């Protein structure tokens, strides 16, 4: 397994900052906002009331009921508590799903660009990640034709992530229906739909997932979500899965032999998040929209860099094809997007992630989950560094 590229980048930035360097960090995949006060208060009350013990492995009855309510209210999905499993972050649910289902040689279709952890999670359980490149001309999205071509008798899962990390692309209802039509012809293929950026949507884009569009795939789909991105709760580590009872039961067994349960305190906070007022979700999305538009404007003005407007999440995925082959002030030729990212770190003191880590080059991933002032300063420093290339 390779280390997570995003976590490794964060470690490098932290080390540079500790050494006294002023680094503007566009690598961070988490909100810079604080968890809303009413959620924090719920956690404090839970501790004061003695809710500091083990919970049931699938999650507290209150949280599973809140998740059932959320899925019914916001997504029109009909699940019972027996279909719900809570984990220490959505990442744990995904990992456990692969652990529960993959045998050696089983294939998992992963559209690229992809979140960095999917392929290595598959490899950990002797599966084979089948990377399907989704070019910018297709909106960085998997087409029905590409899906059909990738499926074999060994295909076990298709992973879908919308809004997507790193591109911010969003599948519309027509595109999901086309994929569902292909899946209907291949009953051995399950679907893992990673909806973690569900609430960070722009330009009136509609959020849909596979089960909403194709109820016939209910028994073959694991809906994965969490509270990290939408409620600024990354450190609380609460995620969940909703799926068929047999799969959920297998995941529960694995969790029972590993972490036992998610934090009782975090689960109490999650109930308050899901059942309480949603003002923070709406307001934070409006703030991300301002940041997206400002970063789009500034990055789009830099010669050699081009970028597609994302409809969701909080990332830009600009092409740096126009910088490849150019020479730095110290005489080094930029040959890859990794070279570009290293140059920007050294020359501009701006940390970004290379597209190779996400399965498609030559691109960079820039997070706008940071302040407008940091965005403006960082983009200005990138522009200055690019101007020095020959």
Bigger pLDDT: 356 vs 14: 356
Residue 85 has pLDDT above 90, yes or no: yes
What is the percent of the chain with per-residue pLDDT over 70, rounded to a whole number?
A: 98
pLDDT in tens, 39-58: 999 999 999 999 999 999 99
Instruction: Indicate if the pLDDT at residue 12 is higher than 80.
Output: no
Q: The whole model's pTM is what?
A: 0.94
Per residue in 54-70, is it b (16+ CB within 10 Å) or e — as a string?
A: ebebbbbebbbbbbbeb
Q: Are residues 233 and 298 in the same domain?
A: no
Q: Are residues 45 and 22 in the same domain?
A: no
Last residue of a domain, one of 275, 307, 330: 275
Kindly state whether residues 48 and 16 are assigned to the same domain.
no
- Say which CATH number the domain at 79 has: 3.40.640.10
Please state the rounded mean pLDDT for residues 346-359. Answer: 94
Mean pLDDT confidence for 304-310: 97
* pLDDT (average), residues 333-348: 94
The reply to whether 284 and 270 lie within a common domain is: no
Confidence band, pLDDT 50/70/90 cuts, at residue 14: confident
Structure tokens, 57: 């492995």
Q: Is residue 137 predicted with pLDDT exceeding 70? A: yes
Q: Are residues 21 and 71 in the same domain?
A: no
CATH (domain of 341): 3.90.1150.10
Whether the predicted pLDDT of 192 surpasses 70? yes
Q: Radius of gyration of the chain from Cα atoms?
A: 21
pLDDT of residue 266 exceeding 90: yes
Q: What is the pLDDT of residue 5?
A: 65
pLDDT for 372 beyond 90: yes
pLDDT band per the 50, 70, 90 thresholds, residue 19: confident
Indicate whether 148 and 226 sit together in one domain.
yes
| pLDDT tens digits along 225-262 | 999 999 999 999 999 999 999 999 999 999 999 999 99
- Residue 196 — φ and ψ, nearest 5°? -60, -25
Whether 25 and 174 map to the same domain: the answer is no
Give the chain's domain count: 2
Q: How far apart are CA 316 and CA 10, in angstroms?
A: 17
* List of residues 6+ apart from 68 with CB closer than 8 A: 79, 80, 81, 83, 84
pLDDT of 6: 64
Q: Are the beta carbons of 347 and 331 closer than 8 angstroms?
A: no
Residues 26 and 88 in one domain: no
Average pLDDT score, the chain: 96
Question: What is the percent of the chain with per-residue pLDDT over 90, rounded to a whole number?
Answer: 93
d(C-alpha 107, C-alpha 116), whole Å: 17
If pLDDT is split at 50, 70 and 90, which confidence band does 16 have? confident
Asked if residue 375 and residue 317 are part of one domain, the reply reads: yes
| 189 in the same domain as 83 | yes
Helices 264-275 + 37-48 axis angle, to 10: 140
On whether the CB atoms of residues 220 and 182 are closer than 8 A, the answer is: no
Beta bridge partners of 353: 365
Segments forming the whole domain that contains residue 171: 37-275
Does residue 74 sit in the same domain as residue 211?
yes
Q: Is the pLDDT of residue 8 over 80?
A: no
Residue 100 and residue 200 share a domain:
yes
Of the residues 275, 310, 328, the one at which a domain ends? 275
CA distance 200 to 196: 9
Overall average pLDDT of the 349-370 stretch: 96
Where among 275, 290, 319 does a domain terminate? Answer: 275
Burial of 26 (0-12, 13-18, 19+ CB in 10 A): buried
pLDDT at 340 (0 to 100): 95
Mean pLDDT, residues 264-269: 98
């Amino acid at each position: 397994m390779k280390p997570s590229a995003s976590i490794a980048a964060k470690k490098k930035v932290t080390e540079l900052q500790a050494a006294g360097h002023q680094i503007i960090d566009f690598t961070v995949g988490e909100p810079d906002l604080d968890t809303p006060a009413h959620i924090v208060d719920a956690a404090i009350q839970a501790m004061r009331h003695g809710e500091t013990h083990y919970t049931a492995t699938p999650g507290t009855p209150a949280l599973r009921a809140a998740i059932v309510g959320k899925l019914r209210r916001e997504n029109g999905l009909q699940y019972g508590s027996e279909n719900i499993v809570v984990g220490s972050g959505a990442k744990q649910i995904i990992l456990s799903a692969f652990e529960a289902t993959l045998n050696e040689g089983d294939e998992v279709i992963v559209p690229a660009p992809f979140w960095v952890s999917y392929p290595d999670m598959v490899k950990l359980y002797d599966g084979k990640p089948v990377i399907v490149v989704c070019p910018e001309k297709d909106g960085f999205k998997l087409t029905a034709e590409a899906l059909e071509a990738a499926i074999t008798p060994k295909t076990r899962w298709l992973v879908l992530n919308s809004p997507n990390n790193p591109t911010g692309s969003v599948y519309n209802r027509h595109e999901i229906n086309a994929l569902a039509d292909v899946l209907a012809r291949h009953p051995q293929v399950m679907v893992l739909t990673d909806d973690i950026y569900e609430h960070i949507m722009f330009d009136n884009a509609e959020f849909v997932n596979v089960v909403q569009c194709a109820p016939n795939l209910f028994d073959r789909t694991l809906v994965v979500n969490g509270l990290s991105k939408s409620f600024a709760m990354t450190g609380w580590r609460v995620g969940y899965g909703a799926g068929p009872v047999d799969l959920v039961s297998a995941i529960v067994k694995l969790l029972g032999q590993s972490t036992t349960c998610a934090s009782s305190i975090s689960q109490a906070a999650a109930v308050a998040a899901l059942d309480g007022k949603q003002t923070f979700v709406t307001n934070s999305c409006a703030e991300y929209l301002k940041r997206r538009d400002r970063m789009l404007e500034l990055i789009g003005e830099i010669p050699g860099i081009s970028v597609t407007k994302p409809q969701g999440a909080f990332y830009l995925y600009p092409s740096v094809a126009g910088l490849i082959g150019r020479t730095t002030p110290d005489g080094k030729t930029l040959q890859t997007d990794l070279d570009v990212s290293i140059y920007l770190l050294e020359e501009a003191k701006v940390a970004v992630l290379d597209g190779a880590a996400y399965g498609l080059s030559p691109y960079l991933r820039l997070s706008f989950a940071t302040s407008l002032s940091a965005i403006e300063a960082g983009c200005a420093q990138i522009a200055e560094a690019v101007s020095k290339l020959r």
